[in-house]
Amino acid sequence: MKCLLLGTSGCHLCEQAETIIDGVVVTETSLDIERIDIAEHTDWQVDYAVRIPVLLHEDTMQALDWPFTETDVFHFISNLKS
């Protein structure tokens, strides 16, 4: 399952989100995370600038907005699978 982690460089909340997601990936090995800097995507800046970090499922575009915990990420992934 592929998800995008939307953020920007120098964003301390994005760094916290990366740490949380890295902890989930250790257990949830089917999860593929691509980190995206929204500064390089004008359309995403409009939609997500005040919401980052955001975990976005690539196929369905379902989003998990910050703040989130490892438990929140596991629930998000579980809901995507069902």
**Are 63 and 56 a contacting pair, CB within 8 Å?**
yes
pLDDT at residue 29, rounded to an integer = 87
Put simply, whether the predicted model's pTM sits higher than 0.85 gets the answer: yes
Q: What is the pLDDT of residues 9-32, one digit of tens each?
A: 999 999 999 999 999 999 998 899
Write down the CATH number for the domain with range 9-81: 3.40.30.10
pLDDT at residue 82, rounded to an integer = 85
**Are 64 and 28 a contacting pair, CB within 8 Å?**
no
Structure tokens at 52: 């980052």
Q: What is the pLDDT of residues 29-76, one digit of tens each?
A: 889 999 999 999 999 999 999 999 999 999 999 999 999 999 999 999
Torsion over CA: 5, 70, 72, 69 (sign)? negative
